[in-house]
Each structure stands twice: as structure tokens, then as C-alpha cells.
Amino acid sequence: MPPDPPGAVADGPSRHLDLIAEMMAAFARSQDVLATLRLGLVRAVERLEAEAGSLFLLESDGSLHCRAAVGPVNVVGLRLAPGTGIVWRTIDSNWPQRVADTGRDPDFAPTVDDATGFVTRSILCAPLTAGAERLGAIELFNKRGGQPFSESDLGLLQALAASAALAMINARLLAELTEQEAMQRDLDLAAEIQRAMLPPPQGADSPVHGINRPARRVSGDFYEIVPLPDGRIAFAIGDVSGKGMKAALLMARIASLFRCLVKREAGPGRVLAAIESELHETRLVGTFVTMIAGLLDPARGRVVLANAGHEPPVLYHRGGFVEIAEGMPPLGIDPRLFDNGVPETVVDLDGGALYLFTDGLTEARGLVGGVMLGAEGVLGLLAAFAAMPAAERLETVLHALGGAVSLGDDVTLMVVEDRLRPPSGPAQRMFPARPEALAAIRSAVAVAVAGLGAAAGAVEACVLAVDEACQNIIRHAYKGGEGDIVLHVAREGDDIVIQLMDFAAPVDPDKIVSRSLEDVRPGGLGTHLMRSVMDKVGFRPPPAGVGNLLEMVKRIGAS
């Protein structure tokens, strides 16, 4: 191609700067990028004195789609297969094209000319590219007057194409941000709905407690606690399939149905059957609910349960667990399965505690070790903290799971206790692992050990040993960071047994040895002190999710 006439290139930018600035400003403030692209195409055709122009965008399947056209022939909607025409070469090579004579270009595709009667003599084409992403191309046809397009013409088209590509990327990012903000608003609303629907914390004297921890912002789990006028307490736990707003709305609907139905239906089996009937009328396709409904009679220590596809509850009684395995399929699967209602199971608590939980608990990973709990790990945690007050017990179990990063699914846990025949057993509490909590720990040990029949000397020894052990946990296990200590005090025959559990990294017991008293270096005598005032001191295998379990025994003799 012969060079441009002298001065053409030098004069080009100055006479095109106004158009470049105009279109950059238009793209910057545009809320409809495609409309602005069409305007840019019109202005480019006018300024460069072309007979026609078109804007092609690259589709996900590799084809080109004409989204705007200027000139005597309207080709908007035209689709070109991959590899077709000079416009495809421009995009594929990511390089602008200036073709003075299309008849001599082997990539020229005369299909459109043949179909419309338009005669394409020359082409100017610039790619729409942002970084490594190829978006399409702007193509102009036939310079008026029969002259070929110049290098300065190509420079202007490249500048407009670069500005247009940037505007397209910005518009996409804005659309994604807007969608994310809308999704966040939905999640915020869903979380607000969920918080509003969950029961408030129950008083310490309540026999029924529950706790919920979402794996993410919004949970598909729910639980309900509804005191009835006759003194009985209705309760429920459920897991809605799915996440986000859809699950939250279904959860809210089921919770509302439960609260309404328990006040008029005869028992939990009929309540679940009625909920199934309601769900069948308006349920969302692809959703289902696993759910347990229960009714506690505190005056008799008796629970009536009905289970629709949920994790089997377990009864902790006299140091062991019994699984309550009877049940039906989940709600929302097939209403015909519930034609005969939902069978009910009667459970006599007999001083025990009934636990209900969602599958997120068994699938959770412990704070220490990161190993999935599984059913055995869950039962181990429940047994380890069984002597705690109910609400604190549930908090401690979830504390052993760590943060939401350890949860693959939402976790909900409930406990239903027999307050008519409460078990007599050890004292158990959780304290923050901070120096300022040591006074409260010492006081709790003194009260518990004295209450178990120990003499003053034994009480003092236990307090001294626990204080030293807790200081070691604070300084060495948690290294001064945040953490918690679980204190467990019990009497086993003639022995006071004290256990301290933490959630720090496991220690190697073989590396913890008493230092000689002749070694007068500061610190390091804590282990010697504990062993000198207690009869036994040693580490035991901790339950899943617990870092370390230190056990100390003080023999106090027969009562």
C-alpha cells in the first residue's frame, strides 16, 4: 500500500482528538454501553467518510454476532461462523486490518454482498480487545470518493475500539457488582428472616435449649421451642435443602406452620403430616425438608417424637447413648408416603438428655486436627461436656468445631432434658484462658471439691494444682492468645478426679517432664508442683475437637 500523502498522519490525530475525547466521555458516563457503541459507530462512519460500518461481538461459541450497523444495508443480527471474513482475521490475530482492495484479499467473504447487493471495495477493521480478552471488532466499508482508508483513519478506529472495549469491560464489571450487591441484599434479608424466626435464648431453668451456626451467612437449618398453655413444650429441628433466600423463605414458612399447628394438632406425628400436606400444595420444585417434631411433658419426663427423614436423635442416659432410629422419608418428596400419617415414638428421659442435631454436626471438622467428627466424634463431645449446664454445653460443643471455615454445612443442635429427675454428677464449666479468669477458676474448684466431701487440705491441693495447670495452658498451649479451658470436677469412689480440656494444638506428653528442684532457673517447676500435691497427673486421649485433656487425681479416702 503506498504511503499516505505528506502531512496526513501528522494532521490526523489533531483533527480526531475531539471525537476520541467525545466518545471516551460518552463511554464513561453511559448506562447503556451497547447504545453508546452504536453512537460511536455512527460517529466513526461520519468522521472517516465511510459508506457503511458494523459492530461484531464475539459469542461464547466462537461465532460473531452483528450488534450494530450503519449504511444502506441493515445486517444487525447477522452471525458469522468462526473463521469467516476479514473481521474474524482481525479478532483472531488481535491486529487491525486495512484492506485497500477486497478482491485481492483471500479472507474476504462476499456472502453478504451476494445477499444484499452491497459492493465492498475496501475495509478498515479494528479489534475490540481488553488485555488478553477479545470481545469483537469494529468494521468500516468503502471510503467515499473511492480513496482507500489511510493510516490515520486506522489510528482513529483503533483509539475508538480501545475505548469501546474498556467501556464494555467496565460495564460487565458494573453489572457483576450490581448482581453481587443484589445477592448480598438478598442474603442480608434472608439472614434477618432467619434470626427473627429462631427462638430467643431460653432461661437456665428451661429443659429445652437449641443453638444454630450457619456455615455461611444464611442457614438452611432451623429449630423451634414453643411452650404450650398446659405446661408441655413443643419443639422441632429441621434442615431445608438448598441455601440462600430460597431456603430461608421455606424455613420461615415451615417454622410458622409448626408454631401454628402445635397449638391445635394432637401430636407431633399429625403436625408433620399437616406440614407435608401444606408443602405439597405450594412447595418449590427440587426442595425437601428433613424434620423432627417433638412434645415434652416436663411433669412426666416423657417425650413424644415424630421423625421425617432427619438424623436420628440420641438419648444420653447413665453414661451411654441410645439412638432413636424410627422415622419416615423427608417432607416434600412424595405426599403419598404420608397417607397414613407419621409414626410417633415415646421416649422416657429418666434423668437423661435427648440430643437432636442436623447432619452438619457429624460432617463438621474439629477445631483441633481438622478431622471430620462423624457420629462417634459427636457422641464423644456430647459425653465430654455432659455435666455442663445445657445452654453452655451446646455452646462448648460448637466451640470445639472452631469457626465457620470448619463447617461444610449448617449446624443446629438441641437438647431436651429431664428436669424432674436431674442426674447428680460432676461439676463442669468453661472459662476463658486468660490470667484474669484464674480467680474464678480457683473459686469453682474449691466449691466443687469441698462439695464432694474433701477436707480442707485436699481442697487446697486441688486448687493449687489446677491454678498451676491453667497457667501452663494459658502460657504454653495458647501462648497468650485467645482460647478456653473446660474444668471438670467429679468424685469417683475415694478419688477427686479433675480434668482440664483446652482447644489448643495437641502437646507431646513425653516432652513434659519435671525439672529437678536443684535447678534454680526461673519457671519450669509447674509439673513438679502438680505431681507433688496430687496423687496422679497425666494426659488422656481427648474427644474429637479437643486439643488436650489433662487429668489429675486426689485421693481423699472414704466418706
Do strands 536-540 and 548-555 pair parallel, antiparallel, or not at all (unpaired)?
A: antiparallel
More confident: 419 or 535: 535
Do strands 133-143 and 123-130 pair parallel, antiparallel, or not at all (unpaired)?
A: antiparallel
Mean pLDDT of all residues belonging to the chain: 84
Q: Is the whole model's pTM more than 0.95, yes or no?
A: no
Average of per-residue pLDDT across 144-150: 90
Contacts of 400 (CB under 8 A, 6+ apart): 366, 367, 368, 381, 503, 543, 544, 545, 546
pLDDT of residue 551: 96
More confident: 119 or 528: 119
pLDDT of residue 1: 42
The C-alpha torsion from 94 through 96 and 98 to 103, rounded to 10°, is 20
pLDDT of residue 290: 92
Q: Which of 67, 80, 8 is nearest to 41 (CA)?
A: 67
pLDDT-derived band at 535 (thresholds 50, 70, 90) equals very high
Tell me how far apart the alpha carbons of residues 328 and 291 are, in angstroms, rounded to a whole number: 10
CB 473 within 8 A of CB 433: yes
The helix/strand/coil state of 432 is strand
Tell me how far apart the alpha carbons of residues 550 and 407 are, in angstroms, rounded to a whole number: 27
pLDDT-derived band at 216 (thresholds 50, 70, 90) equals low
Element at 348 (helix H, strand E): strand 345-348
233-237, 273-277, 399-403, 450-454, range with greatest mean pLDDT: 233-237
Average of per-residue pLDDT across 4-23: 56
DSSP state of 514: P
Q: So where are the chain's domains?
A: 8-175, 198-417, 427-555
Q: Which residue is it, cell 432434658? A: 417
Element at 550 (helix H, strand E): strand 548-555
**pLDDT at position 473 over 60:** yes
**pLDDT at position 404 over 50:** no
5-9, 191-195, 362-366, 409-413, range with greatest mean pLDDT: 409-413
369: left (phi over 0), alpha (psi -120 to 50) or beta: left
Average of per-residue pLDDT across 303-320: 92
**pLDDT at position 34 over 50:** yes
Tell me how far apart the alpha carbons of residues 256 and 226 are, in angstroms, rounded to a whole number: 11
What is the per-residue pLDDT across 244-271, written as a single tens digit (0 to 9) for each? 677 777 888 888 899 999 988 778 999 9
**pLDDT at position 456 over 70:** yes
Share of the chain above pLDDT 90, in %: 44
479: left (phi over 0), alpha (psi -120 to 50) or beta: left
**pLDDT at position 39 over 90:** no
Tell how many helices (H) and how many strands (E) occur in the chain: 13, 21
Average of per-residue pLDDT across 389-407: 76
The 3-class SS string of 461-472 reads: HHHHHHHHHHHH
Tell me how far apart the alpha carbons of residues 556 and 157 are, in angstroms, rounded to a whole number: 95
**pLDDT at position 10 over 50:** no
pLDDT of residue 14: 54
What is the per-residue pLDDT across 344-363, written as a single tens digit (0 to 9) for each? 999 999 999 999 998 888 88
pLDDT of residue 335: 80
500: left (phi over 0), alpha (psi -120 to 50) or beta: beta
pLDDT of residue 361: 85
pLDDT-derived band at 285 (thresholds 50, 70, 90) equals low
**pLDDT at position 522 over 50:** no
Element at 276 (helix H, strand E): helix 268-282
**pLDDT at position 13 over 60:** no
Q: Which of 445, 440, 431 is nearest to 473 (CA)?
A: 431
**Phi, psi (degrees; rounded to nearest 5) at 221:** -85, 160
Tell me how far apart the alpha carbons of residues 291 and 306 are, in angstroms, rounded to a whole number: 8
Choose which CATH entry (3.30.1330.10, 3.30.450.40, 3.40.50.720, 2.60.120.260) describes domain 8-175. Answer: 3.30.450.40
The lowest-confidence range among 99-113, 237-251, 433-447, 538-552 is 237-251
84: how many CB neighbours lie within 10 A of its CB? 15
In the CATH hierarchy, which fold is given to the domain comprising 198-417? Phosphatase 2c; domain 1 (3.60.40)
DSSP symbols for 118-142: -----EEEEEEEETTEEEEEEEEEE
Superfamily of domain covering 427-555:
Histidine kinase-like ATPase, C-terminal domain (3.30.565.10)
**pLDDT at position 5 over 50:** no
Cross-strand partners of 302: 297, 348
Average of per-residue pLDDT across 143-158: 90
What is the per-residue pLDDT across 167-186, written as a single tens digit (0 to 9) for each? 888 888 888 888 888 878 87
pLDDT of residue 204: 86
pLDDT of residue 436: 94
More confident: 326 or 151: 151
What is the per-residue pLDDT across 372-396, written as a single tens digit (0 to 9) for each? 778 888 888 899 898 889 999 999 8
More confident: 500 or 422: 500
